[in-house]
């Protein structure tokens, strides 16, 4: 959920500021871009150099750069972020945030921020329990800020109780979960198939196709970025998912894919069948490598089970099933026939007659046709953009 996100990390004057180094490292490891803004007091607890080195960005703590007099633009900083986390959030800074007091760069950035703001308090037990602190927390939440609750344990004073800043790992998990909950496909389980299948002739040779898996992997990544819990069944391909949250199941043959689809389909809200599954497979597979002889070689083929049609027959009310049609002639006619015969909710049509479409390319040109025969045709686009277009339609179908 944090991949590519721009995170403003505010660090206040608190002994818990030492945890900010780990927090920056974890955010960067998760793929986020981190901009640290410190209060002047925070620099007494951890050096800007440490946080700058870990974030790979300059750290700001003053309105002006002393050596040049250049202004650190709090408005630009506030607009830059996709999210702002203030951790540790001291009682002093929370009081300033609650009252709108702006006497340092961090509080100025906070008042300028247009993104969601999270705050992770850190203070001693008596300060945490004080009525003024509790009122400030209520006020901050009333402004729409999100509290990351402190933990309980041994405090710097030697007391034991509430007030410990949440651990960096807990903050990252909290932020990821909260972002995910706000996404349009949160709590949606979606099955995606991608890539080719290889149908064995003997231990060495197989029948396959030219599918690279790029379109299916782009779809899985886009669905994950929109909050879905994605299971990806992938044929032999060199493609790699962007998101560790995607559950990948590697298969080889059409029979393998059928087995995995039947196992996972009942539990999902939607299924996007993007894989190029073989229509035929050898009737018998030689246990030994077939030796080359003079003359030709005849291989008897048998039909594979139509996975898409099988899932269409098993589809329950409310499930959304999406298929793909790669055609070379009478494209729209064949796509509509496939849509109706296999009980699909949406079919994605692409034609090998369109330059830049089809297998192996980084681009695709598609037409979306739903079960009401509403048709949307798109121009040639990068497969990542095509995946986004398909997902927007899928969200629409899931809401019906």
Q: What is the pLDDT of residue 336?
A: 94
Q: Name residue 161's beta-bridge partners.
A: 153
Instruction: Summarize the confidence of residues 370-387 as an average pLDDT.
Output: 93
Q: What is the pLDDT of residue 115?
A: 94
Q: Which of 118, 152, 181 is the last residue of a domain?
A: 181
Residue 244 banded pLDDT, cuts 50, 70, 90: confident
Residue ranges of the alpha helices (H) in the chain? 19-29, 48-55, 74-80, 91-99, 105-112, 125-129, 131-142, 168-181, 214-225, 254-264, 307-314, 331-341, 383-398
Task: Please tell me whether residues 209 and 145 are part of one structural domain.
Answer: no
Q: What SS3 state is found at 247?
A: strand
pLDDT cut 70: percent of the chain above it: 97
342 labelled ligand-binding = yes
Task: Please tell me whether residues 198 and 164 are part of one structural domain.
Answer: no
Instruction: Summarize the confidence of residues 80-94 as an average pLDDT.
Output: 96
CA distance 205 to 296: 16
**58 in a domain, yes or no?**
yes
Residue 86 dihedral angles phi and psi, to the nearest 5° = -110, 105
384 within 8 A of 363, measured Cβ to Cβ: no
Q: Which of 181, 214, 249 is the last residue of a domain?
A: 181
Task: Please tell me whether residues 234 and 364 are part of one structural domain.
Answer: yes
Q: What is the pLDDT of residue 322?
A: 97
Q: Which helix (H) or strand (E) holds 154?
A: strand 151-154
Q: What is the pLDDT of residue 98?
A: 96
Residue 293 dihedral angles phi and psi, to the nearest 5° = -125, 165
End-to-end CA distance of the chain: 26
> For the chain, what is the mean pLDDT?
92
**1 in a domain, yes or no?**
no
Which is higher by pLDDT, 138 or 355?
Answer: 138
Q: Name residue 160's beta-bridge partners.
A: 154
Task: Please tell me whether residues 177 and 193 are part of one structural domain.
Answer: no
Instruction: Summarize the confidence of residues 373-388 as an average pLDDT.
Output: 93
pTM check: above 0.85: no
Structure tokens at 354: 């369109």
Q: What is the pLDDT of residue 330?
A: 83
Instruction: Summarize the confidence of residues 365-380 as an average pLDDT.
Output: 93
Task: Please tell me whether residues 31 and 105 are part of one structural domain.
Answer: yes
Instruction: Summarize the confidence of residues 118-126 as an average pLDDT.
Output: 93
Residue 70 banded pLDDT, cuts 50, 70, 90: confident
Q: Name residue 121's beta-bridge partners.
A: 89
**348 in a domain, yes or no?**
yes
Print the domain residue range for 343. 189-398
Please report how many Cα atoms fall inside a 13 Å half-sphere around the Cα of residue 325, on the Cβ side.
25
Task: Please tell me whether residues 210 and 104 are part of one structural domain.
Answer: no
Task: Please tell me whether residues 159 and 203 are part of one structural domain.
Answer: no
173 within 8 A of 181, measured Cβ to Cβ: no
Structure tokens at 316: 């329950």
| Cβ partners under 8 Å of residue 68, min gap 6 | none
Instruction: Summarize the confidence of residues 45-61 as an average pLDDT.
Output: 95
Residue 80 banded pLDDT, cuts 50, 70, 90: very high
Query: Catalytic residue numbers?
Result: 209
Q: Is the pLDDT of residue 363 over 90?
A: no
Q: Is the pLDDT of residue 356 over 70?
A: no
Q: Is the pLDDT of residue 41 over 70?
A: yes
Task: Please tell me whether residues 100 and 218 are part of one structural domain.
Answer: no
The structural domain count of the chain equals 2
**287 in a domain, yes or no?**
yes
Residue 357 banded pLDDT, cuts 50, 70, 90: low
Residue 359 banded pLDDT, cuts 50, 70, 90: low
Distances (CA, A) of 14 to 37, 63, 69, 145: 14, 21, 28, 20
Return the CATH number at 283.
3.40.50.10300
Q: Which of 124, 146, 181 is the last residue of a domain?
A: 181
CA distance 57 to 65: 15
Q: What is the pLDDT of residue 62?
A: 86
Q: What SS3 state is found at 42?
A: helix
**288 in a domain, yes or no?**
yes
Instruction: Summarize the confidence of residues 25-50 as an average pLDDT.
Output: 95
Instruction: Summarize the confidence of residues 101-119 as an average pLDDT.
Output: 95
Length of the chain, please? 400
202 labelled ligand-binding = no
Which is higher by pLDDT, 339 or 70?
Answer: 339
Q: Name residue 152's beta-bridge partners.
A: 162
338 labelled ligand-binding = yes
Residue 398 banded pLDDT, cuts 50, 70, 90: very high
CA distance 185 to 36: 31
389 within 8 A of 400, measured Cβ to Cβ: no
Residue 360 banded pLDDT, cuts 50, 70, 90: low
pLDDT tens digits, 294-340: 788 889 999 999 999 999 999 999 999 999 987 778 888 999 999 99
Structure tokens at 135: 């009122």
Residue 138 banded pLDDT, cuts 50, 70, 90: very high
350 within 8 A of 342, measured Cβ to Cβ: no
CA distance 218 to 395: 16
Return the CATH number at 85.
3.40.50.1950
Task: Please tell me whether residues 177 and 58 are part of one structural domain.
Answer: yes
**78 in a domain, yes or no?**
yes
Instruction: Summarize the confidence of residues 38-53 as an average pLDDT.
Output: 96
**218 in a domain, yes or no?**
yes
**77 in a domain, yes or no?**
yes
Task: Please tell me whether residues 148 and 205 are part of one structural domain.
Answer: no
Task: Please tell me whether residues 201 and 329 are part of one structural domain.
Answer: yes
Structure tokens at 130: 């004080």
Task: Please tell me whether residues 44 and 155 are part of one structural domain.
Answer: yes
């Amino acid at each position: 959920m944090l991949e590519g996100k721009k995170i403003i990390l505010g660090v206040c004057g608190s002994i818990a500021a030492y945890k900010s180094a780990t927090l920056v490292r974890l955010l960067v490891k998760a793929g986020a871009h981190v901009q640290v803004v410190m209060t002047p007091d925070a620099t007494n607890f951890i050096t800007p150099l440490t946080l700058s080195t870990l974030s790979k960005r300059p750290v700001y703590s003053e309105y002006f750069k002393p050596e040049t007099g250049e202004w650190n633009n709090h408005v630009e900083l506030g607009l830059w972020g996709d999210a702002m986390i203030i951790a540790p959030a001291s009682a002093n800074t929370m009081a300033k945030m609650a009252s709108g007091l702006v006497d340092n760069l961090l509080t100025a950035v906070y008042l300028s921020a247009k993104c969601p703001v999270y705050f992770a308090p850190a203070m001693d037990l008596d300060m945490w329990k004080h009525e003024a602190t509790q009122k400030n927390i209520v006020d901050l939440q009333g402004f729409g800020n999100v509290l990351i609750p402190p933990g309980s344990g041994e405090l710097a004073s030697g007391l034991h109780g509430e007030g410990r800043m949440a651990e960096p790992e807990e903050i990252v998990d909290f932020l990821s979960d909260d972002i995910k909950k706000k996404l349009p496909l949160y709590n949606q389980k979606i099955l995606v198939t991608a890539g080719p299948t290889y149908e064995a002739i003997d231990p060495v040779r197989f029948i396959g196709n030219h599918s690279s898996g790029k379109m299916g992997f782009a779809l899985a990544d886009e669905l994950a970025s929109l909050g879905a819990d994605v299971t990806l069944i992938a044929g032999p391909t060199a493609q790699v998912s962007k998101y560790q949250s995607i559950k990948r199941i590697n298969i080889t043959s059409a029979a393998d894919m059928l087995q995995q689809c039947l196992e996972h389909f009942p539990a999902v809200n939607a299924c996007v069948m993007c894989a190029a599954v073989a229509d035929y497979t050898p009737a018998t597979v030689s246990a030994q490598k077939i030796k080359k002889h003079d003359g030709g070689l005849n291989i008897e083929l048998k039909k594979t089970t139509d996975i898409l049609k099988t899932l269409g027959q098993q589809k329950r009310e409310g499930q959304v099933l999406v298929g793909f049609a790669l055609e070379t002639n009478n494209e729209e006619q064949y796509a509509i026939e496939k849509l109706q015969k296999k009980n699909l909710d949406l079919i994605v049509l692409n034609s090998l007659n369109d330059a830049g479409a089809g297998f192996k390319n980084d681009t695709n040109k598609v037409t979306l046709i739903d079960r009401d025969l509403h048709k949307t045709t798109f121009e040639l686009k990068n497969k990542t953009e095509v995946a986004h277009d398909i997902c927007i339609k899928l969200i629409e179908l899931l809401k019906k």
